[in-house]
Amino acid sequence: MPERKYVIESRRYIGEDGRSTFDKWVTNAKVIEIKHEDQYLVFFPLEGENAGKKHYIPFSNIHIVREI
């Protein structure tokens, strides 16, 4: 069975340039941990400058999680 990959996008925010933007990461199912009691998603991005670094994102900041 092939490994599943997901795109996680944060809620949109206004960047330093005044434009609406959002953060986006690619991760896989094996490295996602859901902390229900703390309301956080813990993951390790597979791509980009933060690849392999542990990320925590609060449920309230999650905009989209979709399989690719």
Query: What CATH number is given to the structural domain containing 17?
Result: 2.30.30
Question: Residue written as tokens 């933060």?
Answer: 50
Give the number of domains in the chain. 1
Tokens of 5: 């990959």
Residue 33 in 3-state DSSP?
A: strand
Domain range for 59? 5-67
CA geometry: angle at 33 spanning 29 and 39, to 5°? 130
- Is 1's pLDDT higher than 70? no
Query: Is the pTM here over 0.85, yes or no?
Result: no
Q: How do residues 26-48 score in pLDDT, each as one tens digit?
A: 988 777 788 888 899 888 898 88
Q: How deeply is 7 buried, as exposed, middle or buried, from its count of CB atoms within 10 A (0-12, 13-18, 19+)?
A: middle
